[in-house]
Amino acid sequence: MTDITLDSKVPDHPIEEAWDRHKFDMKLVNPSNKRKYTIIVVGSGLAGSSAAATLAQLGYHVKVFTYHDSPRRAHSIAAQGGINAAKNYHGDGDSVWRLFYDTVKGGDFRSREANSYRLAQLSVNIIDQATAQGVPFAREYGGLLANRSFGGAQVSRTFYARGQTGQQLLLGAYQALAEQIGKGNVELYNRCEYVDQVVIDGQAAGIVVRDLLTGAITSHGAHAVVLATGGYGNAYFLSTNAMACNVSAAWRAHRRGALFANPCYTQIHPTCIPSSDEFQSKLTLMSESLRNDGRIWVPVKAGDDRHPGDIPESERDYYLERKYPSFGNLVPRDVASRNAKIAVDEGKGVGPLHNGVYLDFADAIERLGADVISQRYGNLFQMYERITAEDPYRVPMRVFPAIHYTMGGLWVDYHLETTIPGLYAIGEANFSDQGANRLGASALMQALADGYFILPYTIGDSLAPRLGEPVPDTSHEAFRAAEAEVHDRYTGYLSVKGSRSVDWFHRELGKILWEYAGMERNRAGLEKALSEIPALYEEFKTDVRVLGDDRSLNQSLERAGRVDDFFQLGQLLCQDALDRDESCGAHYRSEHETEDGEALRDDEHFSFVSAWEFVGDGQPEVLHKEPLEFENIHLAQRSYK
């Protein structure tokens, strides 16, 4: 265990002025000196593309690495519903303070106040930036921007681009990045996967990457490294994440000294298409925005297999409207998910496998007409129909919760710098702003706030004093040693020649995590997971079968590396969930619930960020705590009634 003090670097100013005054306090790099610094950005989603484009605009020399064939493929592209901003364009009482309040409350008082406030504050700039880039947000007939409402809020502050908001925002950021690539300010390395972090004298010195087409392992030095590598929901195998989403970059940095915070905060999205069989490769999300017009219900009687149209009103339970009259179907994600699970556990699940609840648009179609519903959700309805062969205009959708987003991630301070100086983490890869539960339409907001408006400024503060330092030389022994380790790791997977595929192990790991560390957790289950995962991991190491070689495109080999890291992270996730002996937000320990079945926090003992330190393979990780103080928002039991 090393002596680590977690300095959050939160400025000592009133929260409304903190960011602006802090920007003035930070050191600047002279425009003509910026080109003397090399910055590596790993990942090209909303956070990575926006950061890389902005850093290049400012004049830094930027290198971008992505394992995709093009930066535009990053999984931000799949975000559907929208992006929050406290514009108050609709005069319904919104404000920066209200978005801040909703975020902290939605996160069940486990986020860092100053970060959440800054996020709310910058939300308005993101909309301006994106609109100027040509992002075609939905508009009213007068030509001004439209909004819709989302879970956990009583105002309409969500900007959206049909059901493809993530796509349009990412294309905006990707195009800004492409402009900089075209101008020669950014070097792009596609189909190139980050496989290790290099740290020299306690400072991030560069990265080791594996070219996915040739298997070549090479090093790149930089003055600073930015990880914008997304979340780790795919540890559960079935999730709404894309197939390649993984934890490897964050995990490899963690193994080199970056603390990993709150891994047990994993968000379940309440409305995904229920799985239909074992072969299923992923779960498809149906945007939270659908809960604006869709009503969630199950039959009152368990095991009622009648066609939904044959079940009369009096025999339907619109359980969210019944239990939470003021928020109704728009309760936050964790509350909606848990209630769906309760209904299914009571035997009221619908569909052939009784594993879903209805999301019904009949009333909305009657009230507004099918055309309006089609304008709002047409592409989502179409997507649903392709997958299930059922027409949601006529038959209610069936939905069930699935792993979607991870609030946990690398620990970062107010500058978004990890515990390794010079290594930054932005977007979903860090932990800072969302607490124990993220509100809908806040992921895009955070990724772009980090990438466009925060990191490009904070990074200068630590770079400025290092003027004149050369880019770390990749012939340094630390780079050589890391390359050798990576080489051995990948040839190691090939040489096991066991009997089971990588996917088989991934699927089995996912089952354990979903069973014991999914929507609801308890001590006995987590202890069971902590004995089963290491056993399965041992089997993986001795019995995995990876065919092919390491000198050409080998997708099984890529996956082997990622699943290896999921095994390690999975154990830490369960350890963290076990250690956090309270319920908060998405982390629901069945031992701790209120009489109404809500998450029961224990602020006296758990009002802190859990930041874990890797101390060696096979050794338990060491817990460090960053206390959370709430000076601006009064700690309260969440209620959405």
Q: Scanning residues 98 to 127, which ones bind another protein (CB under 8 A)?
A: 125, 127
Interface of this chain with another protein, residues 280 to 309, rule: CB under 8 A: 280-282, 284-285
Distance CA 225, CA 153 (A): 36
Distance CA 569, CA 586 (A): 18
When asked if residue 136 is in the footprint of another protein (CB under 8 A), the reply is: yes
Which of 387/635 has CB closer to another protein?
387
When asked if residue 277 is in the footprint of another protein (CB under 8 A), the reply is: yes
Interface of this chain with another protein, residues 251 to 270, rule: CB under 8 A: none
Strands (E) across 414-454 are located at 423-425
* Helix, strand or coil, per DSSP, at residue 284: coil
**Contacts with another protein, 349-388, as mask; x by CB under 8 A:** ---xx---------------------------xxx-xxxx
When asked if residue 35 is in the footprint of another protein (CB under 8 A), the reply is: no
450 CB neighbour count, 10 Å cutoff = 34
Smallest gap from Cβ 383 to another protein, in A, equals 7
Smallest gap from Cβ 180 to another protein, in A, equals 9
Smallest gap from Cβ 503 to another protein, in A, equals 6
Distance CA 192, CA 218 (A): 10
92, 390, 515, 581: which one contacts another protein (CB under 8 A)? 390
Check: CB of residue 565 under 8 Å from CB of residue 247. Answer: yes
Q: Which of 162, 333, 521, 601 is catalytic?
A: 333
Interface of this chain with another protein, residues 483 to 502, rule: CB under 8 A: 501
Smallest gap from Cβ 452 to another protein, in A, equals 5
Check: CB of residue 151 under 8 Å from CB of residue 440. Answer: yes
When asked if residue 75 is in the footprint of another protein (CB under 8 A), the reply is: yes
* Residues in the chain, total: 641
Which of 13/282 has CB closer to another protein?
282
When asked if residue 13 is in the footprint of another protein (CB under 8 A), the reply is: no
Smallest gap from Cβ 407 to another protein, in A, equals 21
Which of 300/387 has CB closer to another protein?
387
When asked if residue 161 is in the footprint of another protein (CB under 8 A), the reply is: yes
Which of 166/349 has CB closer to another protein?
166
Smallest gap from Cβ 249 to another protein, in A, equals 16
Q: How many CA atoms lie within 13 A of 366 on its CB side?
A: 6
Which of 116/123 has CB closer to another protein?
123
100, 174, 479, 588: which one contacts another protein (CB under 8 A)? 174
Which of 272/436 has CB closer to another protein?
272
Distances in whole angstroms, Cα of residue 336 to Cα of each of 202, 295, 343, 440, 598: 44, 12, 11, 12, 11
Please name which of 79, 90, 225, 229 lies closest in space to residue 165, comparing C-alpha atoms.
79
When asked if residue 95 is in the footprint of another protein (CB under 8 A), the reply is: no
When asked if residue 623 is in the footprint of another protein (CB under 8 A), the reply is: no
Please name which of 17, 37, 74, 154 lies closest in space to residue 447, comparing C-alpha atoms.
74
Report residue 297 CA to chain centroid gap: 28
Which of 178/517 has CB closer to another protein?
178
SS (H, E, C) 68-132: CCCHHHCHHHHCCCCEECCCCCCCCCCCHHHHHHHHHHHCCCCCCHHHHHHHHHHHHHHHHHHHH
Mark the segment that binds another protein (CB under 8 A) among 162-170, 287-295, 435-443, 524-532: 162-170
Which of 67/516 has CB closer to another protein?
67
Which of 390/591 has CB closer to another protein?
390
Please name which of 174, 192, 226, 159 lies closest in space to residue 45, comparing C-alpha atoms.
174
Please name which of 557, 540, 561, 539 lies closest in space to residue 548, comparing C-alpha atoms.
557
When asked if residue 128 is in the footprint of another protein (CB under 8 A), the reply is: yes
Q: Phi and psi of 299, rounded to 5°?
A: -65, 150
Interface of this chain with another protein, residues 507 to 566, rule: CB under 8 A: 545, 547-548, 552-553, 555-556
Mark the segment that binds another protein (CB under 8 A) among 274-282, 585-593, 603-611, 613-621: 274-282
Distance CA 49, CA 332 (A): 29
* Helix, strand or coil, per DSSP, at residue 364: helix
Mark the segment that binds another protein (CB under 8 A) among 337-345, 390-398, 439-447, 612-620: 390-398
Smallest gap from Cβ 278 to another protein, in A, equals 9
Which residue do the tokens 């909309």 mark? 127
24, 279, 310, 604: which one contacts another protein (CB under 8 A)? 279
Torsion angle of the four alpha carbons 194, 285, 567, 551, in this order, in degrees rounded to the nearest 10: -40
Smallest gap from Cβ 609 to another protein, in A, equals 29
Smallest gap from Cβ 50 to another protein, in A, equals 8
Mark the segment that binds another protein (CB under 8 A) among 202-210, 271-279, 487-495, 516-524: 271-279
Strand order, beta sheet including 266-272: 266-272, 397-406, 357-360, 295-299, 316-317
SS (H, E, C) 145-200: ECCEECCCCCCEEEECCCCCHHHHHHHHHHHHHHHHHHCCCEEEECCEEEEEEEEE
Nearest 5°: the CA angle 493, 498, 499 is 135
Distance CA 545, CA 495 (A): 8
322, 393, 538, 596: which one contacts another protein (CB under 8 A)? 393
37, 117, 137, 612: which one contacts another protein (CB under 8 A)? 137
Q: Are strands 83-84 and 156-159 parallel, antiparallel or unpaired?
A: antiparallel
Interface of this chain with another protein, residues 210 to 229, rule: CB under 8 A: 213
Interface with another protein (CB under 8 A), residue total 88
Mark the segment that binds another protein (CB under 8 A) among 242-250, 290-298, 576-584, 632-640: 242-250
92, 345, 391, 629: which one contacts another protein (CB under 8 A)? 391
Question: Which amino acid is present at 531?
Answer: S
Distance CA 16, CA 445 (A): 19
Would residue 35 show up in a list of annotated catalytic residues for this protein? no
27, 92, 276, 641: which one contacts another protein (CB under 8 A)? 276
Which of 334/558 has CB closer to another protein?
558
Smallest gap from Cβ 413 to another protein, in A, equals 22
Distance CA 463, CA 486 (A): 29
**Contacts with another protein, 445-474, as mask; x by CB under 8 A:** -------xx--x------------------
Smallest gap from Cβ 188 to another protein, in A, equals 8
Torsion angle of the four alpha carbons 454, 457, 458, 463, in this order, in degrees rounded to the nearest 10: 150
Kindly list the catalytic residues: 333
